[in-house]
Amino acid sequence: MDFLPSSIQLSYLVASALFIIGLKQLGSPATARKGNLLAAIGMLIAIVATLLDQAVLNYEMVLIGMAIGSAIGAIMAQRVEMTAMPQMVGLLNGFGGAASALVAVGAFWKVIHGVNAIPVDETVTIILSVLIGGITFTGSLLAFVKLQGLISGSPITFPFQQPFNITLLAGFLAGSAYLIVNPKDTTVFLALVGISLLLGVLFVLPIGGADTPVVISLLNSFSGLAASAAGFVLMNNMLIISGALVGASGIILTQIMCKAMNRSITNVLFSAFGSGKKVEGSTAAGIEGRALRSIDAEEGAMMLGYAKSVVIVPGYGMAVAQAQHAVRELADQLERLGVDVKYAIHPVAGRMPGHMNVLLAEANVPYPQLYDMDDINPEFDRTDVALVIGANDVVNPAARSDAGSPIYGMPILEVDRAHHTIVIKRGMSNGFAGVENELFYKDKTMMLFGSAKEMVTQLVSSVKEL
Amino acid sequence: MDFLPSSIQLSYLVASALFIIGLKQLGSPATARKGNLLAAIGMLIAIVATLLDQAVLNYEMVLIGMAIGSAIGAIMAQRVEMTAMPQMVGLLNGFGGAASALVAVGAFWKVIHGVNAIPVDETVTIILSVLIGGITFTGSLLAFVKLQGLISGSPITFPFQQPFNITLLAGFLAGSAYLIVNPKDTTVFLALVGISLLLGVLFVLPIGGADTPVVISLLNSFSGLAASAAGFVLMNNMLIISGALVGASGIILTQIMCKAMNRSITNVLFSAFGSGKKVEGSTAAGIEGRALRSIDAEEGAMMLGYAKSVVIVPGYGMAVAQAQHAVRELADQLERLGVDVKYAIHPVAGRMPGHMNVLLAEANVPYPQLYDMDDINPEFDRTDVALVIGANDVVNPAARSDAGSPIYGMPILEVDRAHHTIVIKRGMSNGFAGVENELFYKDKTMMLFGSAKEMVTQLVSSVKEL
Amino acid sequence: MAEGLIAGLVVFVLASFIGFEVINKIPPTLHTPLMSGSNAISGIAIVGALLVAGDRNWSLTVILGLIAVVLATINVVGGFLVTDRMLQMFKKKEVKA
Amino acid sequence: MAEGLIAGLVVFVLASFIGFEVINKIPPTLHTPLMSGSNAISGIAIVGALLVAGDRNWSLTVILGLIAVVLATINVVGGFLVTDRMLQMFKKKEVKA
Ligand SMILES: NC(=O)c1ccc[n+]([C@@H]2O[C@H](COP(=O)([O-])OP(=O)(O)OC[C@H]3O[C@@H](n4cnc5c(N)ncnc54)[C@H](OP(=O)(O)O)[C@@H]3O)[C@@H](O)[C@H]2O)c1
Ligand SMILES: NC(=O)c1ccc[n+]([C@@H]2O[C@H](COP(=O)([O-])OP(=O)(O)OC[C@H]3O[C@@H](n4cnc5c(N)ncnc54)[C@H](OP(=O)(O)O)[C@@H]3O)[C@@H](O)[C@H]2O)c1
């Protein structure tokens, strides 16, 4: 709880500055990698400075712990698939939250065995740290488990969920009040820890698998706040600053996702604490009987190969099928034939902000070829073929026209304005939002049924033969 | 030197946040006024919180002082002409710097009469505060005097100026070292104060009147740093934060001005500390004998009235002549005739960043009609008449073509690309940079000699008669 | 004391980052008001002046403090008012445009 | 102590402002790396863990601290490496484009 010596404090300041500069540089593709490196260097400085603190005596154990952690972290980072990024972030996030919570619990143990009276604000910060850290921990783990498909991704609800949650929260508040008066009561403290962990589970339980990325981003913000709270417990600026940075970043990303889905944060938060009434039946009446135009890869290749301009619209399906490399190849082949190829990236295509960008970057697509929604929408009028690969909600015209649709108001990629639209998907099942898509029934739309990777690969070979 | 009670600290935090939010809102014309108000409220909170501090006992005197200051400030703010903004900011800035320096001197007096030993870092911060505050004070006052025309604006140099400055600085450093060892030596302290004040004068003396705005911006940054330094002396976060904000803002504005003039900050700084070798003769040889085409207002009005598109390029001359209202009227008349009128704003037109914007705003020109250099330059090819009003350097093609010119490399408004160019100025004297302007001798250029206000007013009445 | 210095340094560095980020976004149109507005903020030295001038017992410190109070108040009041005067002009336009 | 709390609060507020300013400028292309990068930074909890785990004498605090060290290290190392892996892809492109 004591102040740290100046040199360590100064190192912390340098480390914090490196974090800030690193985040700034993450803002441009050209400098992003250097930015990440700078942030990592900042972390190293912070760790080394801390190890030089005289409070750290137990070197061997600490270093062994770090070695184990590094090994696990490195292996995880190497093994993970690019498509599994959301759950990876979720899992790491959970670890961070757990660490913050454990720090607070450890600090609690230290103070209750100390001789001094425990000041109120210290108890408060410890409780806060346990709460945020605990929720982050179990919430993130559950989100990971859901996204990884270890349990069903559909929202899980049970009777009286809302009242139960409220009771738990009230219990937490009551326990906190009690603990502030009697700071040394271990039982109550442990109960608070338990409630925090439970709250994390209950927070994520009712959220559908597809909504989980938003929650992960929010929990990322929480993990930052947890670190800040731990910083208040230990009176450590390093923790406070970095925590605040992460907290802000998580909140902004959450906002961006919510905005792009045309839902408010409170809506996400409340539907999280409430019951999942997400999955609704189709609304657009009269679609059922309508005819689809289905084509095969050869026909598709003809259309694409003889077009002047093609806009590729990737979505979640491309990510699932890992079709990005095939897509890149298709674009190459088309360009060889003189076709002008662009990619249209919807801000919430896929399941994470920037999801498509990462995948396409993995497949070596030059990023000047990627166009934001606002830039590409005016182009569709002049586009010969829009090729939709495993996207659904982000191209659903109901968002523009059907005021009753759950996605009404969400800005979309207006592929229905192109002269022709080819849609690759496996069947007629709905996208994340669970609504029918009238686009598939339009005259200008051709369906190319099959898994994205297979279909695109077939397109490639057919285009090669043109 | 003691810590302040929590409630005051919290008020300071709120005030700092208001400053930040205020500055953010200053970033858009729609919210700028509210932003300024927020910042003012922040200041009020900071002042009230400080008055509630138990250290302030001498209420009557303090309040009287504030009343006097408010009255003077309010009158100055009301009376000042919009064209006199640079010197107004300079003067106010000087007062701020003086206040910071006085605070440091006062604090010094308090500590040397205290009983405790004076810690080294306190002496250092006091010295720093005196240095920055002193330079800001006299430097800003001198800049004011120059800009106001109370003394000649041309750079003032004397023999051995450089060695003299260096000696002074060395003396200051030596004195500081001595004072750190013997913190109670009043004579040395006063000598340091004197040197600081002298340095401010010497800093600004060799700078030409037209370069002064850059220096004012830099001194503005200094005054922020002075406040920060005073904050370190008093251990006061409020001062540190606001000082840092102002420091950053001043430095950025200085950079922007330097960049737009294609000079480096160090160049400005060094030529400031060196001798003013600014005023050079004309370089573009062979101009002398060439013919000018001079027209009168009626001919000008014909050209303007029958043009399809006119781009108005205002410069320092418009500011001096206070011609902005007439210019606005001219634009109105032209628009009445169906002419498309735009304004091209060079980043360093006039004598302050954003100078033209303020003047044209005063004359009610809608700001969507104002175009930045980068946006308007591609338009000149399609422009029938470019009307240059009292601008010179910012339209000088030598910046593009003549590698020997002092303004070579400075980005300019490319009026010579327009089908015709009309230039309003009083005679053939050069602009701020002191170089000849070949533009005036081009075939497509017509000169309309006279003071900007008169000439534009004549243009208005002639256009009315079309 | 060295502690306080470092705490101050942390605050200073963070505030500078904010300054750079915020100011860098401000468009040229508003640079003159920005200059005078931030100049007004630099009048925050008034807080220091108040603390120094507040003593009941007359001393050189108090006198210097009082002068500082007057000067800083001019800076603050003049700065904010003149900025407002400038911005008022921008405001009017907005309604029209 | 309340002093420290407020000092901490000041730092927290300032850092939050910086976070908002900096992050808001980051284009959508880089949002996924940003998410994992900032997640790695949140592993800074490791500093707290080290301080808590460092005691020579075994106690519950030390054990909890050590677990925290392991978890936080995974977060840090995994986070930075995976971010780098992602960004490497962006990098390559740049050379090509
Ligand atoms: N990006 C984010 O940050 C984020 C975060 C949270 C939520 N969301 C939400 O996620 C949705 C994203 O929209 P989206 O258009 O990208 O995806 P989507 O609406 O979820 O639709 C994906 C489509 O891909 C098809 N598909 C699945 N696997 C496939 C495979 N292997 N091959 C080919 N097709 C396959 C599916 O149809 P079939 O089963 O018939 O093939 C499905 O209709 C939005 O509603 C958004 O709000 C996004
Ligand atoms: N904006 C800033 O932040 C800033 C700061 C520092 C320096 N500067 C420098 O200032 C210069 C600004 O360029 P500029 O083109 O705006 O101005 P300029 O180059 O200084 O030229 C102004 C011209 O206006 C004419 N003029 C003066 N009074 C007039 C009147 N009453 N009526 C009509 N014309 C009049 C003058 O010629 P006559 O005498 O023949 O009429 C002079 O040639 C640049 O060199 C820039 O680097 C700008």
Taking only the tens place, the pLDDT of each residue in C12-59 is 999 999 999 999 888 877 888 898 999 999 999 898 888 888 777 777
Type and span of the H or E element at A313: strand A309-314
**B386-406, pLDDT tens digit by residue?**
999 999 989 999 888 877 777
| pLDDT number for residue D93 | 45
**A343-364, pLDDT tens digit by residue?**
999 988 887 778 888 888 888 8
Does the beta-carbon distance from A30 to D64 stay under 8 Å? Answer: no
Cα A26-A29-A34 angle, rounded to 5 deg = 55
Contact C60, B107 (CB under 8 A): no
For the four alpha carbons of B19, B24, B29 and B31, in that order, the dihedral sign comes to negative
- CA A343 → CA A63, A310, A327, A333, A447, distances in Å? 47, 8, 10, 15, 19
| pLDDT number for residue B74 | 95
- Give the Cα separation of B43 and B66 in Å (integer): 13
**A359-371, pLDDT tens digit by residue?**
888 888 887 889 9
Q: DSSP 3-state assignment of A323? A: coil
Ligand nearest to the CA of B320: 2
Which of C18, C39, C90 lies nearest to residue B32, judging by beta carbons? C90
pLDDT class of A313 with cuts at 50, 70, 90: very high
- Give the Cα separation of A275 and A208 in Å (integer): 10
Measured between CB atoms, does C95 come within 8 Å of chain B?
A: no
Best mutation site among B392, B396, B448, B455 for ligand 2 pocket (most ligand atoms within 8 Å of CB): B392
pLDDT class of C91 with cuts at 50, 70, 90: low
Does the beta-carbon distance from D61 to A22 stay under 8 Å? Answer: no
| pLDDT number for residue A213 | 78
Query: Considering only CB atoms, which chain C residues are within 8 Å of B367?
Result: 29, 90, 93-94, 97
Write down the mean pLDDT value for chain A.
86
**D4-36, pLDDT tens digit by residue?**
788 889 999 999 999 999 998 888 778 888 989
Which of B3, B6, B17 lies nearest to residue D13, judging by beta carbons? B17
Does the beta-carbon distance from A6 to C3 stay under 8 Å? Answer: yes
- Give the Cα separation of A440 and C87 in Å (integer): 53
| Closest-CA residue to B17 (of B236, B217, B237) | B237
Does the beta-carbon distance from C15 to D15 stay under 8 Å? Answer: no
Nearest CA distance, D20 vs chain C (angstrom): 10
| Closest-CA residue to B438 (of B393, B403, B384) | B393
Does the beta-carbon distance from A56 to D54 stay under 8 Å? Answer: yes
Measured between CB atoms, does D3 come within 8 Å of chain A?
A: no
Query: Considering only CB atoms, which chain D residues are within 8 Å of B241?
Result: 10, 14
Measured between CB atoms, does C77 come within 8 Å of chain B?
A: yes
Does the beta-carbon distance from C18 to D22 stay under 8 Å? Answer: no
Instruction: Determine the residue type at A433.
Output: A
- Closest Cα to atom 21 of ligand 2: B431
**Quick check: is B393 catalytic?**
yes
pLDDT class of B95 with cuts at 50, 70, 90: very high
Contact A448, A455 (CB under 8 A): yes
| pLDDT number for residue A269 | 60
> Is B265 a residue whose pLDDT tops 50?
yes
| pLDDT number for residue A245 | 94
Measured between CB atoms, does D11 come within 8 Å of chain B?
A: no
Tokens 């800049």 belong to: B143
Nearest CA distance, C37 vs chain D (angstrom): 20
| pLDDT number for residue B171 | 94
| pLDDT number for residue B289 | 59
| pLDDT number for residue D83 | 93
Q: What is the set of active-site residues of A?
A: 393
Ligand nearest to the CA of B147: 2
Does the interface predicted TM-score (ipTM) exceed 0.85? no
User: Which chains have 3 or more CB–CB distances shorter than 8 Å to chain C?
Assistant: A, B, D
Nearest CA distance, C43 vs chain D (angstrom): 21
**B145-187, pLDDT tens digit by residue?**
888 878 776 677 777 777 888 899 999 999 999 998 888 888 9
- Give the Cα separation of A421 and A335 in Å (integer): 19
Distance A361 CA to ligand 1 centre (A): 19
Query: Considering only CB atoms, which chain C residues are within 8 Å of B193?
Result: none
Q: In chain A, pLDDT over 90 holds for what percent of residues?
A: 48
Nearest CA distance, A285 vs chain C (angstrom): 45
Write down the mean pLDDT value for chain B.
86
Measured between CB atoms, does D22 come within 8 Å of chain B?
A: no
> Is B429 a residue whose pLDDT tops 90?
no
Q: State the pTM of this model.
A: 0.83
Instruction: Give the count of beta carbons closer than 10 Å to the beta carbon of residue B45.
Output: 18
With CA atoms as reference, the chain B residue closest to D1 would be B6
Atom of ligand 2 nearest to the CA of B353: 3
| pLDDT number for residue A192 | 94
More confident residue, B211 or B255: B255
> Is A137 a residue whose pLDDT tops 80?
yes
Query: Considering only CB atoms, which chain B residues are within 8 Å of D14?
Result: 16, 241
Query: Considering only CB atoms, which chain A residues are within 8 Å of D71?
Result: 69, 95-96, 98-99, 102
- Give the Cα separation of C41 and C45 in Å (integer): 9
pLDDT class of B423 with cuts at 50, 70, 90: very high
Ligand 2 pocket by Cβ (under 6 Å): B 210-211, 213-214, 257, 261, 315-317, 320-321, 348-353, 355, 390-394, 424-429, 431-433, 451-452
Atom of ligand 1 nearest to the CA of A212: 6
b vs e for C36-63, b when ≥16 Cβ sit within 10 Å of the residue's Cβ?
Answer: bbbbbbbbbbbbbbbbbbbbeeeeebbe
Atom of ligand 2 nearest to the CA of B257: 3
| pLDDT number for residue A278 | 40
Does the beta-carbon distance from B62 to C77 stay under 8 Å? Answer: no
Nearest CA distance, C10 vs chain A (angstrom): 6
Region B336-360 average pLDDT: 88
**A218-240, pLDDT tens digit by residue?**
999 988 998 898 888 888 889 99
Ligand nearest to the CA of A259: 1
Does the beta-carbon distance from D11 to C10 stay under 8 Å? Answer: yes
- Closest Cα to atom 41 of ligand 2: B426
pLDDT class of B272 with cuts at 50, 70, 90: very low
- Give the Cα separation of A217 and A197 in Å (integer): 18
Ligand 1 pocket by Cβ (under 6 Å): A 210-211, 213-214, 257, 261, 315-317, 320-321, 348-353, 355, 390-394, 424-429, 431-433, 451-452
> Is D42 a residue whose pLDDT tops 60?
yes
> Is B283 a residue whose pLDDT tops 50?
no
Does the beta-carbon distance from B246 to C41 stay under 8 Å? Answer: yes
User: Which chains have 3 or more CB–CB distances shorter than 8 Å to chain B?
Assistant: C, D
> Is B61 a residue whose pLDDT tops 80?
yes
Paired tokens of C52: 């120094």
> Is A457 a residue whose pLDDT tops 90?
yes
Best mutation site among A252, A372, A432, A439 for ligand 1 pocket (most ligand atoms within 8 Å of CB): A432
- If DSSP states are collapsed to H, E and C, what string results for chain B? CCCCCHHHHHHHHHHHHHHHHHHHHCCCCCCHHHHHHHHHHHHHHHHHHHHCCCCCCCHHHHHHHHHHHHHHHHHHHHHCCHHHHHHHHHHHHHHHHHHHHHHHHHHHHHHHCCCCCCCHHHHHHHHHHHHHHHHHHHHHHHHHHHHCCCCCCCCCCCCCHHHHHHHHHHHHHHHHHHHHHCCCCHHHHHHHHHHHHHHHHHHHCCCCHHHHHHHHHHHHHHHHHHHHHHHHHHCCHHHHHHHHHHHHHHHHHHHHHHHHCCCCHHHHHHHHHCCCCCCCCCCCCCCCCCCCCECCHHHHHHHHHCCCEEEEEECHHHHHHCCHHHHHHHHHHHHHCCCEEEEEECCCCCCCCCHHHHHHHHCCCCHHHEEEHHHHHHHHHHCCEEEEECCCHHHCCHHHHCCCCCCCCCCCCCHHHCCEEEEEECCCCCCCCCCCCHHHHCCCEEEEECCHHHHHHHHHHHHHHC
- Closest Cα to atom 5 of ligand 1: A351
- Give the Cα separation of B460 and B304 in Å (integer): 10
Measured between CB atoms, does C7 come within 8 Å of chain D?
A: yes
Contact B111, C59 (CB under 8 A): no
| pLDDT number for residue B286 | 46
pLDDT class of C2 with cuts at 50, 70, 90: low
Region A103-122 average pLDDT: 81
- Give the Cα separation of A185 and A127 in Å (integer): 13
> Is C92 a residue whose pLDDT tops 60?
no
- Closest Cα to atom 8 of ligand 1: A351
In the set B393, B402, B416, B443, the catalytic residue is B393
Region C46-73 average pLDDT: 86
Region A66-81 average pLDDT: 93
Question: Helix B212-234 to helix B120-147 angle, to the nearest 10 degrees?
Answer: 150
Contact B185, B112 (CB under 8 A): no
Query: Considering only CB atoms, which chain D residues are within 8 Å of A246?
Result: 19, 38-39, 41-42
Region A412-418 average pLDDT: 92
pLDDT class of A189 with cuts at 50, 70, 90: very high
